[in-house]
Amino acid sequence: MILKSLEIQGFKSFPDKTKLSFGGGITAVVGPNGSGKSNISDAVRWVLGEQSTKTLRGSRMEDVIFGGTKLRKPVGFAQVALTIDNTDHSLPVESEEVTVTRKLYRSGESEYRINGNSVRLKDVYEMFMDTGLGKDGYSIIGQGRIAEIVGAKSAERREIFEEASGISKYRYRKTEAERRLEQAQENLLRLKDILTELEDRVGPLKVQSEKAQAFLKLSEEKKQLEVSLYIKQLDKAKEALREQENRIMVCKASYDGVDDELTALEEAINAIFAQAQQCAVAIEGKRTERQAIDEELSKRESEIAVLRNDIFHKNETISRIQRDIDTQSLAVSDIDAQISARLAQLEAKNALIGELETTCAEREETLNIFLTDNARHNDQLESVTRELAVINQQLAQSRVTELTSASSLEELAQRRETLSHGLAAKQTDSERLRAELAELQGFVDELDGKIESESNTVKGYEFELSKRKAKLEESAKQLNTLDLAIKEKRQNARLLEDLERSMEGFTQSVKTVMKLSGGGALRGVLGPVSSLIQVPQRYTVAVETALSFALQNIVVENEEVAKRAIAILKSENAGRATFLPVSTIEGNVLDDHALSSHPGFVGVASKLIAFDTKYTGIVNSLLGRIVFCEDLDNAVAMAKKNAYRFKIVTLDGQVVNAGGSLTGGSTVKSSGLLSRRNDIERLHEQAKELEQKLATVTTEHDALKAEIAGVEAEFLATRSVLETMQEDKAKAEIERQLAQRNLQENEKNIEEITAELTRSEERTQKLTQELQAAKAELAAKAARAAELEEQLSTTSQLKDELRQKRRELTDEISALKMQILGETKEAEGLKQSAAELAERKLSQSGRFEELNAEITALSGEISDINAKIEEILLSKEEVNAKAAAIEAEIHALSEQRLAFEKQANEKRGEEKAILSRREDISKEMARLEERKVTAQTDYDQIIAKLWDEYELTKSEASAIAGEIPSVTNAQRTLSEIKGKIKALGTVNVDAIEEYKEVSQRYEFLKAQVADVESSRDELLRLINELTFKMREIFTESFAQINKNFGEVFVELFGGGSAHLDLTDEGDVLESGIEIFVEPPGKIIKSLTSLSGGEQAFVAIAIYFAILKVRPAPFCLLDEIEAALDDVNVSKYAQYLHRLNDKTQFITITHRRGTMEEADVLYGVTMQEEGVSKLLELKVSEVESKLGLKNT
| 1153 in a known ligand binding site | no
Cβ contact 151:1007 at 8 Å: no
Residue closest to 977 by CA, chosen among 220, 456, 343: 220
d(CA 224, CA 950): 10
Q: Is 34 annotated as a binding residue?
A: yes
Letter string b/e over residues 924-949, b meaning 16 or more CB atoms within 10 A of that residue's CB: bbeebbebbeebbebbeebbebbbee
For 499-517, the DSSP string reads HHHTTTTS-HHHHHHHHHH
* All residues at 6 or more sequence positions from 368 whose CB lies less than 8 Å from its CB, including other chains: none
Length of the chain: 1191
At residue 356's C-alpha, the angle toward residues 355 and 360, to 5°, is 120
Give the dihedral sign, CA 411/416/419/425: negative
Measured distance CA(1006)–CA(195) in Å, rounded? 7
36 is an annotated ligand-binding site residue = yes
Q: How many CB atoms lie within 10 A of CB 13?
A: 21
Query: DSSP string spanning 994-1060?
Result: HHHHHHHHHHHHHHHHHHHHHHHHHHHHHHHHHHHHHHHHHHHHHHHHHHHHHHHHHHHHTS-EEEE
State how beta strands 26-30 and 1144-1148 pair: parallel
Report the C-alpha gap between 490 and 486 in whole angstroms.
6
DSSP, collapsed to helix, strand or coil, labels residue 104 as strand
Whose CA is closest to 1156, among 1132, 1125, 1120? Answer: 1132
CA distance 154 to 1061: 10
Alpha helices, DSSP H, located in 508-615? 508-518, 529-532, 540-547, 559-571
Q: Nearest CA to 30 among 1156, 1018, 1189?
A: 1156
Q: How far is CA 960 from the centre of its chain?
A: 52
Residue 1082 DSSP code: -
Please tell me the distance from the alpha carbon of residue 622 to that of residue 605, in angstroms, as a whole number: 9
- When computed from its CA atoms, the radius of gyration of the chain, rounded to whole angstroms, is 64
Q: Which residues pair with 103 in a beta bridge?
A: 79, 111
500: Cα within 13 Å, side-chain hemisphere: 16
Distance CA 20, CA 40 (A): 10
Secondary structure (DSSP) of 1148-1181: E---HHHHHH-SEEEEEEEEETTEEEEEEE-HHH
CB atoms within 10 A of CB 233: 16
Helix locations, 1057-1122, DSSP H: 1092-1109
Q: Cβ of 778: how many Cβ atoms within 10 Å?
A: 16
The reply, when asked if residue 37 is annotated as ligand binding, is yes
DSSP string, 124-179: HHHHHTTTT-STTSSSEEEHHHHHHHHHS-GGGGHHHHHHHHT-HHHHHHHHHHHH
Strand partners, 12: none
| DSSP codes of every residue in 228-251 | HHHHHHHHHHHHHHHHHHHHHHHH
Query: Binding site for ATP: residue ranges?
Result: 32-39
Feature table: binding site: 32-39
